Amino acid sequence: MERTITNKLIAWKNNPKRKPLIVYGARQIGKTYTILEFASKQYRNVVYCNFESDKQLSVIFKMSLDPNRIIANLEAYYSTIISQGETLIFFDEIQASEEAMTSLKYFNEQANGYHVIAAGSLLGLALNRGHFSFPVGKVDFLNMYPMTFEEFLLATNNEALRKMIVESYETLPPFQLHKKALELYRQYLVVGGYPQAVKTFLETKDFNFVRSEQSSISNAYIADMSKYATPAETVKSIEVYNSIFSQLGKETVKFTYSTVSKKARSKNYEVSLAWLKFANVVINCSLVTEGRYPLNAYEEPNTFKIYYSDVGLLTLKGSISPNKIIQNIDISDKVRGMLAESYVAEQLVANGFLLHYWECNNSSEVDFVIHINDEPIPLETKSADNVKAKSLRTYISKYNPKYSIKVSTKNFGFENNIKSIPLYAVFCIKEHNEEQ
């Protein structure tokens, strides 16, 4: 399946100032497959080193961190030739080898002619715990996410539709295939962006099988919690993880520890929540008290919203009937709103946005405020055609933004300096080159 991150990998390969590259993200989002597919088309050969499945590999790095010695040992170990510029050296699950992580520094300083990519699923957690001598300033980074709706369109043979959506987004005329695009959006709400879930959907068209794959992925996250956290942290992380659907169902969706457990306190659950963030299992959206540039200056880090990193997991955890979502029947406005907001958060993060939301006097709240061309732009999400947004009007009157965005099931349009963007077109919103 085609992933948009491949273009970034190609750009890295062709960059004369390239450093060893670290690709990180949650488990089972397709990091290994995507990198190997990229390597098969861009290099003569690839040396694939998985430090989690092959424990003997770490011995090579314990002997010496001299890159030339490492190369010689890898050539002997894999019975292959490693050539500068023609071979990709791929260190997978690098968090399992402290020495391999440290070696990236020396590849950059002493052997930068070799092309090295490292990938890991729990790097944020591992680095936070201080297990690694991290090569600060000596590596490039790419964060990878579950498949976006754009990638879902590509996987479902809707490339022509994708191009038409992009064209409509650029000029904002009503989209003629609006109904079809919304149907695909609702499919995506059920299937989500985990490649195996998408593959199962394409092969079977059976949502029961899709749900089974999603359950396996969710259980794998819980297994990781047990493997990498203390027993006490594991229990609390699972409690936080399982509470997110309830968190988003509240009238005010900011994260509260009392929703996890009646007697829960932040000091007892902060580490467990941090674990989920570092493992890229959840998405964080922090409160800002002002809609002014830069948003980080007005951030309240202790007040935030939390979303699952994949909307398919949200529908799974909520036990929401796939058929009711697909047919858009018997779903409350609250649940529709929850799904739409989570979906938008996921798409924005995948496009590189840092997420914030705005609140004023507990009476007005704008779902997201994002930087576009260094301008704070408010973005309100609605799950239906009724797109009245009192809070957005309050924000506009207070800060007079360059323009505003309303995302809903309504077609493209532009009125009163507000862009109407259909839910299926959120992937078009970019951090730069956005035109009014």
Mean of pLDDT values over 19-44: 96
For 162, residues 6+ apart whose C-beta sits below 8 A from its C-beta are 150, 153, 154
For 86, residues 6+ apart whose C-beta sits below 8 A from its C-beta are 43, 44, 45
Residues 339 and 231 occupy one common structural domain: yes
Q: What's the confidence (pLDDT) of residue 4?
A: 95
pLDDT-above-90 percentage for the chain: 79
Q: In degrees, to the nearest 5, what angle opens at C-alpha 354 toward C-alphas 353 and 358? A: 115
172-229 pLDDT tens trace: 999 999 999 999 999 999 999 999 999 999 999 999 999 999 999 999 988 888 877 7
Confidence bin at 433 (pLDDT 50/70/90): low
Q: What's the confidence (pLDDT) of residue 388?
A: 66
Confidence bin at 436 (pLDDT 50/70/90): very low
For residue 14, count CB atoms less than 10 angstroms from its CB and return exposed for 0-12, middle for 13-18, buried for 19 or more: exposed
* 133 located within any domain: yes
What type of residue is 374?
Answer: D
Q: What are phi and psi of 158, to 5 degrees?
A: -115, 40
Mean of pLDDT values over 403-421: 96
Q: What is the secondary structure of 220-271 as a DSSP string?
A: HHHHHHHHHS-HHHHHHHHHHHHHHHHHHTSSS-S--HHHH-TT--HHHHHH
Mean of pLDDT values over 55-73: 93
Q: What's the confidence (pLDDT) of residue 107?
A: 97
Q: Is the pLDDT of residue 435 over 70?
A: no
Residues 166 and 120 occupy one common structural domain: no
Domains in the chain, number: 2
Domain boundary among 96, 115, 143: 143
Residues 135 and 156 occupy one common structural domain: no
Q: What's the confidence (pLDDT) of residue 286?
A: 97
Q: What's the confidence (pLDDT) of residue 271?
A: 86
Residues 92 and 163 occupy one common structural domain: no
Q: Is the pLDDT of residue 358 over 70?
A: yes
- d(CA 334, CA 181) in angstroms, rounded, equals 22
Q: For residue 102, is it left (φ>0), alpha (ψ between -120 and 50) or beta? A: alpha
264-287 pLDDT tens trace: 888 889 988 988 988 899 999 999
Q: Is the pLDDT of residue 133 over 70?
A: no
Tokens of 343: 């979906």
Q: In degrees, to the nearest 5, what angle opens at C-alpha 247 toward C-alphas 241 and 249? A: 130
Q: What's the confidence (pLDDT) of residue 126?
A: 56
SS3 state of residue 63: helix
Say how many C-beta atoms besides its own lie within 10 A of residue 402's C-beta. Answer: 12
Q: What is the secondary structure of 107-122 as a DSSP string?
A: HHHH-TTSEEEEEESS
152-187 pLDDT tens trace: 999 999 999 999 999 999 999 999 999 999 999 999
Tokens of 256: 């509260």
* 115 located within any domain: yes
Residues 194 and 313 occupy one common structural domain: yes
Residues 324 and 343 occupy one common structural domain: yes
Domain boundary among 115, 143, 171: 143
22 secondary structure, DSSP code? E
More confident residue, 350 or 1: 350
More confident residue, 231 or 316: 316
372-396 pLDDT tens trace: 999 999 999 998 766 567 899 999 9
Residue given tokens 């862009």 in the structure block: 419
* 433 located within any domain: no
Mean of pLDDT values over 308-332: 95
* 364 located within any domain: yes
pLDDT-above-70 percentage for the chain: 95
- d(CA 330, CA 316) in angstroms, rounded, equals 17
Residues 331 and 395 occupy one common structural domain: yes
* 186 located within any domain: yes
Q: What are phi and psi of 328, to 5 degrees?
A: 60, 45
Mean of pLDDT values over 135-160: 95
More confident residue, 10 or 58: 10
Residues 42 and 178 occupy one common structural domain: no
Residues 46 and 92 occupy one common structural domain: yes
* Domain limits for position 119: 5-143
107-123 pLDDT tens trace: 999 999 999 999 988 77
* 169 located within any domain: yes
Residues 111 and 88 occupy one common structural domain: yes
The b-or-e profile of 263-297 (16+ CB within 10 A means b, else e) is ebeeeebeebbbbbbbbbbbbbbbbbeebeeebee
- d(CA 38, CA 119) in angstroms, rounded, equals 14
Q: What's the confidence (pLDDT) of residue 225?
A: 81
* CATH code: domain of residue 122: 3.40.50.300
* 193 located within any domain: yes
Residues 126 and 164 occupy one common structural domain: no
Q: What's the confidence (pLDDT) of residue 132?
A: 53
Residues 168 and 233 occupy one common structural domain: yes
> Which runs of E-coded beta strand occur in 289-429?
299-308, 356-360, 364-372, 375-381, 404-408, 413-415, 418-422
Structural contact between residues 154 and 431, judged by C-beta atoms closer than 8 angstroms: no
Domain boundary among 121, 143, 165: 143
Tokens of 247: 């968190």
* 435 located within any domain: no
